[in-house]
Every structure is written in structure tokens, then in C-alpha cells.
Copies of this chain bind each other. A is one copy, B any other.
Amino acid sequence: MAMECATGRHSDHDVYAAQCPCRAMLDMLANKWSALAIGALEQGPRRFGELQRRLQGISPKVLTQTLRRLEDSGILTRTVYPAVPLHVEYALTPLGHGAAVPLGLLRTWVEENLDNTAASPCRPRNA
């Protein structure tokens, strides 16, 4: 009786089911670089170099991999303008803009709630 998926809670999908394709989607979105890249594209299309500067600490290899995966999943589009020098733009699809909402809330929550942990803040609050 369709134990593999479909508990009927939301739609036909269940992220808790190992075989459900939405598990793979969750695995892709629930990832540091994906969350940051999607957030960086929320305000409009960005170029490779812009993203690399924004996502501090990412290497070009990993940025390419991340963008390719998101492109293959329909989260963003890659457009090449054969100008000189080469110009490549990445932009969120409507699906990507949808995913950006919960991911943005997650990023915001992390930034606003880290103080409650034992981690040291970037700016000490009394110095």
C-alpha cells in the first residue's frame, strides 16, 4: 500500500521516505552553498564572479558544481552572452524564487539566533 512514499500529509510526497524523489530535492536545497547561492540570486541575476565574491570562501570549482546542480533541478537558469569578455548570467526560475523563501527564513533565523548559543559573536555586544 505505497509504503515507499506518500503519507498523504501534504501532497503526494514525503521527505521522510528514502525513495521519494523529493528527498533528493531536499538534499540539494538543504546545503550551505545552495542556500547562500539561491539567496544571492533573490534580488536578480548575477554573474559568476559576483557570486564568487558574495559567497565568501567558495572555490570556483564548488561554485560551478553548485550552480550546475541547481540548474539541472530547475532552480535556476544559466544564460551565456557571447560578448567580450565572456558574460554568463545566473537567474532564479519561478521554482527557485519559491525555494528562496524558506531558505531566506533559515538564513535569517541563523543570523538572528546565533547569540543564544555558546558561539562567539562577530562583534562582541559590549566592546
**What residues of chain A have their CB less than 8 Å away from a CB belonging to chain B?**
2, 4-6, 9-27, 29-32, 34-36, 40, 54-57, 73-74, 95, 98-99, 101-103, 105-123, 125
Contacts and interface: CB of A to CB of B under 8 A. Distances in A.
One complex includes copies of this chain to the number of 2
Contact of A122 (B21, B36, B55, B105): B21
A113 B109 CA distance: 23
Given A17-B56, A21-B121, A113-B98, A30 B26 contact: no
B123 A21 contact: no
A81 B112 CA distance: 34
A105 B102 contact: yes
Contact of A26 (B4, B99, B107): B107
